[in-house]
Structure 1
Amino acid sequence: MAVLQPLLTDDNCLTPQGLVATAKENTAPFDALERVLKGVETALPDGMVMVDKEGTERKRVRVCWWLDGLNKRRLYEVARAPASALAQIPKEVLAESIDFA
Structure 2
Amino acid sequence: MSIDPKTALDALYEQYSKRANAIRHDLGLQRSADFAEQAGERQNDEVLNALLAEAEAGMRQVGLARLRLADGSYGLCQRCGEPIEAGRLQALPAAEFCLACADKVRG
Which structure shows the higher strand fraction?
1
- Could you say which structure has the larger radius of gyration? 2
Which structure shows the higher helix fraction?
2
Bigger RCO of structures 1 and 2 (CA < 8 A, at least 6 apart): 2
